[in-house]
């Protein structure tokens, strides 16, 4: 009788130990799946807090990367997250002449989060005097954003990246 009890106890203890060992060994495999909701929550809170590199240039008027154009932007209203809005992009030559009828594409995203813009903004209208209407701008969270323009006018093509940090 006592022998059998001992055997049962040993079996239970052994099962528990083996289960724990197997669980620990499988942790790297199971971990990501089990941890996901928790980690996701933690990532989400990191999302807003990750600070941008300190040396970023936030100027709204800059030279393009090869120095071909001087570009500035204004927003129709203050940039608030999750609000679709419109920019006006002003493009000049390096010596200050307005650039007419350029073809311009828009791209952007959050370098620290590895995602792009939530919308596909487009230059929809040339307003004259080197001004271009950019519709469909939207940012879905606070933090450091890059907005990139690729500008082609005549035989010149150049790119520019504007940095923004948004509250959110």
Give residues in contact with Cu ion (CB under 5 A): 110, 113, 141
Burial class (CB in 10 A: 0-12, 13-18, 19+), 110: buried
Place of tokens 């999302």: 47
The dihedral through the CA atoms of 18, 21, 24, 27 has a sign that is negative
Nearer to Cu ion, 79 or 133 (CB): 79
Shortest spacing between CB 82 and Cu ion, in angstroms: 12
The dihedral through the CA atoms of 77, 81, 83, 84 has a sign that is positive
Shortest spacing between CB 85 and Cu ion, in angstroms: 18
Burial class (CB in 10 A: 0-12, 13-18, 19+), 141: middle
- d(CA 86, CA 73) in angstroms, rounded, equals 10
Shortest spacing between CB 113 and Cu ion, in angstroms: 3
Nearer to Cu ion, 96 or 114 (CB): 114
Shortest spacing between CB 166 and Cu ion, in angstroms: 10
Shortest spacing between CB 146 and Cu ion, in angstroms: 11
Nearer to Cu ion, 108 or 130 (CB): 108
Strand intervals (E) in the chain = 61-63, 69-75, 85-93, 103-110, 115-116, 122-128, 131-137, 143-153, 156-166
Residue of this chain nearest to Cu ion (CB atom) = 113
Nearer to Cu ion, 140 or 157 (CB): 140
Nearer to Cu ion, 36 or 115 (CB): 115
């Amino acid at each position: 009788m006592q022998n059998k009890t001992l055997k049962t106890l040993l079996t239970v203890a052994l099962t528990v130990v083996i289960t724990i060992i197997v669980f620990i060994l499988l942790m790297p495999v199971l971990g990501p799946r089990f941890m996901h909701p928790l980690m996701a929550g933690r990532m989400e809170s990191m999302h807003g807090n990750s600070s941008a590199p300190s040396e970023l240039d936030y100027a709204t008027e800059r030279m393009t990367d090869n120095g071909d154009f001087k570009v500035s932007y204004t927003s129709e209203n203050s940039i608030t997250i999750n609000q679709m809005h419109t920019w006006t992009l002003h493009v000049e030559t390096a010596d200050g002449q307005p650039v007419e009828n350029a073809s311009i594409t828009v791209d952007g995203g959050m370098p620290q989060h590895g995602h792009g813009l939530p919308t596909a903004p487009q230059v929809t209208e040339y307003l004259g005097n080197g001004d271009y209407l950019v519709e469909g701008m939207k940012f879905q969270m606070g933090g450091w954003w890059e907005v990139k323009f690729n500008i082609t006018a005549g035989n010149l093509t150049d790119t520019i990246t504007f940095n923004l940090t948004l509250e959110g």
